Amino acid sequence: MRSGDRPVPDLALTTKALTMLSTLNRILYPLVLKVMFLLDPERIHAITAQVIRRCGYAPGVRSLMAKLFATDDPILRNEVFGVSFPAPIGLAAGFDKNASSVNAWGQMGFGFAEIGTITGQAQPGNPAPRLFRLPADRALINRMGFNNPGADTAARALAQPRPGPVRVPIGANIGKTKVVPVEDAVDDYRHSARTLGPLADFVVVNVSSPNTPGLRDLQAVDSLRPILATVLDVVDKPVLVKIAPDLSDEDVDAVADLAVELGVAGIVATNTTIRRDSLVTPRAEVEACGAGGLSGPPVADRSLEVLRRLYRRVGGRVALVSVGGIETVDQAWERICAGADLLQMYTGFIYGGPVRLRELHEGIAARLRAGGYSSIREAVGSAAQ
């Protein structure tokens, strides 16, 4: 802890204090969100990211954040693929594309975070507008196109000191540079893995974004095999692969089998979807947004289906990180019992705020104790056993 940080010996809040915090969040955050939604989605994202970054490096402020938002409960701690996680819910890739806020995420209550997606070369991403809100569905559509500063610049940011009361694992999510031909994808992934791997706690190979032409074709086992083999060869950290919800069940099985064969540490399921069914938002508004990946509650059912299928196939041999539409304690608990070793949020964090994250962690801990579990590890996959 650096000079200027106030000691935070105990991150636990009393039940009364947590109730008050939740009440304030229910009253105030919708108003804050309403104001934020008056601005262009990408503009408010940039402003919010800057505020979060500065708070993460401001002594005193980061300690206050940790006191309000972080949960320090032994029952939530888990070791997955050799990495210790203080809490099960992490930040999904896509928010901290530049690795600029890595010191803030633990203070905000996340048990871990993924930076990126980072590509081998810097790239601006797709033309704007490229981020759209669907408030009626509490969802987002994005076609950002991996806008990021490139692996070399991200590595410098990732190497910065991380002071403060809470330090959590950081994963490096890597993808293919758009201008790199598909036949050269292996070399592109190799550069990113070699550059970022030594500075991260784990590496996630992203072959599932719908916003880079040809990328999802790399999920085919014949294309995926050399990429994963290369990344595994150049890093000594756990390697995971992130898959799309739009894969057929047979392709999900094929990726799962490949993960076991190669010794991949985990599978992140799932990315955004290109499907547009079962939305509350009027069709004309959705069509006006255009192409892109849909995230939030509309992807929840398929994400859960893929998780259950993966657990039946490789549960216990490959770690499973479930992401997609998680907003409530019931949903988080269902994913854990279905086989998720870890969970991730992005869209739910935007619509619910950081207090909601603490509520989820407190709720999971309560479910564990009510069920007679001594640790979260004991509950993983319990519904399938």
Q: What is the pLDDT of residues 255-310, one digit of tens each?
A: 999 999 999 999 999 999 999 998 999 999 999 999 999 999 999 999 999 999 99
Long-range contacts of the stretch 364-369 (C-beta < 8 A, 24+):
364/76, 364/88, 364/329, 364/332, 364/333, 364/336, 365/71, 365/73, 365/75, 365/76, 367/329, 367/333, 368/75, 368/76, 369/75
Residue 8: predicted pLDDT: 43
67 is in an annotated binding site: no
Contacts of 26 (CB under 8 A, 6+ apart): none
60 is in an annotated binding site: no
Residue 15: predicted pLDDT: 78
Lookup: tokens for 126: 């797709």
Helix, strand or coil, per DSSP, at residue 283: helix
Q: Please say if 209 is a catalytic residue.
A: yes
Per DSSP, which regions of the chain are E strands? 78-80, 83-85, 89-91, 113-119, 131-134, 139-142, 170-175, 202-206, 239-243, 266-269, 293-295, 319-323, 342-345
Lookup: tokens for 160: 């910065």
217 is in an annotated binding site: no
Q: What b/e readout covers 43-55, taking b as 16+ CB neighbours within 10 angstroms?
A: ebbeeebeebbeb
Q: What angle do CA 280, 348, 47 make, to 5 degrees?
A: 110
Residue 12: predicted pLDDT: 61
If residue 337 lies in a helix (H) or strand (E), which one and from where to where? helix 329-338
Residue 7: predicted pLDDT: 44
Distance CA(139)–CA(281), nearest Å, equals 10
Residue 254: predicted pLDDT: 95
If residue 338 lies in a helix (H) or strand (E), which one and from where to where? helix 329-338
Q: What b/e readout covers 215-236, taking b as 16+ CB neighbours within 10 angstroms?
A: bbebbeeebbeebbbbbbebbe
69 is in an annotated binding site: no
202 is in an annotated binding site: no
Write out pLDDT tens, residues 161-191.
Answer: 999 899 999 999 999 999 999 999 999 999 9
List, edge to edge, every strand of the sheet that includes 293-295. Answer: 131-134, 139-142, 293-295
Q: Which residue has the tokens 């009510």?
A: 370
Query: What's at 310, amino acid-wise?
Result: L
125 within 8 A of 135, measured Cβ to Cβ: no
CB-based burial of residue 163 (10 Å sphere; 0-12 exposed, 13-18 middle, 19+ buried)? Answer: middle
Provide DSSP, 47-112: HHHHHHHHHHTSTTHHHHHHHHH----GGG-EEETTEEESSSEEEPTTS-TTS--TTTTTTTT-S-
Residue 346: predicted pLDDT: 97
Percent composition of the chain: helix, strand, coil (DSSP 3-state, to 5): 45, 15, 40
Residue 10: predicted pLDDT: 52
Q: Which of 100, 192, 208, 209 is catalytic?
A: 209
111 is in an annotated binding site: no
What does the pLDDT average to over 188-215?
95
What does the pLDDT average to over 61-67?
94
97 is in an annotated binding site: yes
CB-based burial of residue 72 (10 Å sphere; 0-12 exposed, 13-18 middle, 19+ buried)? Answer: middle
Lookup: tokens for 323: 């992401």
Handedness of CA 114, 117, 123, 128 (dihedral sign): negative
Name the average pLDDT for the chain.
94
Say yes or no to pLDDT of 214 above 90.
no
What does the pLDDT average to over 328-349?
98
347 is in an annotated binding site: yes
Say yes or no to pLDDT of 144 above 60.
yes
Distance CA(353)–CA(174), nearest Å, equals 26
Angle between helices 151-158 and 185-196 (to 10 degrees): 20
Say yes or no to pLDDT of 11 above 70.
no
Per-residue DSSP letter, 298: G
296 is in an annotated binding site: yes
Q: What angle do CA 215, 216, 219 make, to 5 degrees?
A: 110
Distance CA(50)–CA(41), nearest Å, equals 14
Q: What is the CA radius of gyration of the chain?
A: 19
195 is in an annotated binding site: no
Largest CA distance in the chain: 58
